[in-house]
Amino acid sequence: MTSPMFEKIALVGIGLIGSSLARVIRREGLARHVAISTRSAATLERAEELGLGDSYTTDAKEAVRDADLVIVSVPVGSSGAVAQEIAPALKKGAILTDVGSTKASVIAQMQPHVPDGVHFIPGHPLAGTEKSGPDAGFADLFDNRWCIFTPLPDTDAGALERLSEFWRRCGTNIDTMDPQHHDMTLAIVSHLPHIIAYNIVGTADDLESVTKTEVIKYSASGFRDFTRLAASDPTMWRDVCLHNKDAILEMLARFSEDLAFLQRAIRWGDGDKLFDLFTRTRAVRRSIIEAGQDIDAPDFGRQAVEHPAKT
């Protein structure tokens, strides 16, 4: 094993992302000591049962004391309060980062609390599932995914490189961009798909002419692929919607315009328009597979999980 990159890493928040980090940090030997803190005694107890770290506390200040790297993995709407709480205990020279799905809002909430001499580098690993809590994490979560940093104008280059190396060792590729660009990009690749999924599943749930039993029974026709996204954590996604409002509204406006175009093509029997669009979108799926961001198994890889011998 190579020598640990950090003496002490503090994980504030130990849900899906925090616990996946804990597991990959241990597997790769990235820290001599992993301190875990979370808001509730119940989650902390579970993290301890799972053996995710070396010390456990519900007091985030205690966890971050003397830590060289502090990773905040809480819903984005709570990041300001967490930053305020831990700020007095942060060590000079420490790197403070987060994993939040929105960046401009997290920066606005956290930055005012960051003490001089602490390197605050906002980050976002583009890796996740619809599950939450410490049981949901796994060490491979970040493999071949992307971690995006949105450094601030005065971000120290050495600290950024150190954090980049940490995430590379966790399995991700690295990109940097400004926070507004991040928020706009994520609005289309992540936030809008989740909102559409929540919406379609909600519509199906409200239907009266088709029974709920039928929706469930015939779900493999397409519906179930939306239900995975629509099963995502309500707190996390409420916060994402509230904290990336402008970019999401912009993408929803474009989406509604395009949907009206599609609606019109269907109404007027314009098969060529439909065929052209469906051909273009099929090529997008091919590009995703070629980029190694999914596998070419049916049903978004479910077969691979359910019947590993067949793949």
| Residues near ligand NAP, by CB under 6 A | 13-18, 38-40, 43, 73-76, 78, 82, 99-101, 125, 128-129, 132-133, 233, 236
Q: How far is CA 85 from CA 39, 79, 131, 174, in A?
A: 12, 10, 27, 29
What minimum distance in Å lies between the beta carbon of 274 and ligand NAP? 33
| CB burial string 236-257: b at 16+ within 10 A, e below | bbebbbebbeebbeebeeeeee
* Shortest Å distance, C-beta 83 to ligand NAP: 11
Contact predicate 106/133, CB 8 Å: no
Distance in Å, CB of 207 to ligand NAP, minimum: 28
Extended beta strands in the chain, E state: 6-12, 31-37, 55-57, 69-72, 95-98, 119-121, 123-126, 146-149, 173-176
Orientation angle between helical segments 223-230 and 192-206, nearest 10 degrees:
110
Report the nearest approach of ligand NAP to the CB of residue 41 (Å).
8
Q: Which is nearer to ligand NAP, 26 or 211 (CB)?
A: 26
Nearer to ligand NAP, 59 or 257 (CB): 59
Task: Give the residue with the Cβ less far from ligand NAP, 45 or 54.
Answer: 45
Q: Which residues pair with 34 in a beta bridge?
A: 9
Kindly tell me which of 95 and 236 has the beta carbon lying closer to ligand NAP: 236
Least distance (Å) between residue 275 CB and ligand NAP: 34
> Among residues 156 and 185, whose Cβ is nearest to ligand NAP?
185
CA atoms within 13 A on the CB side of 246: 9
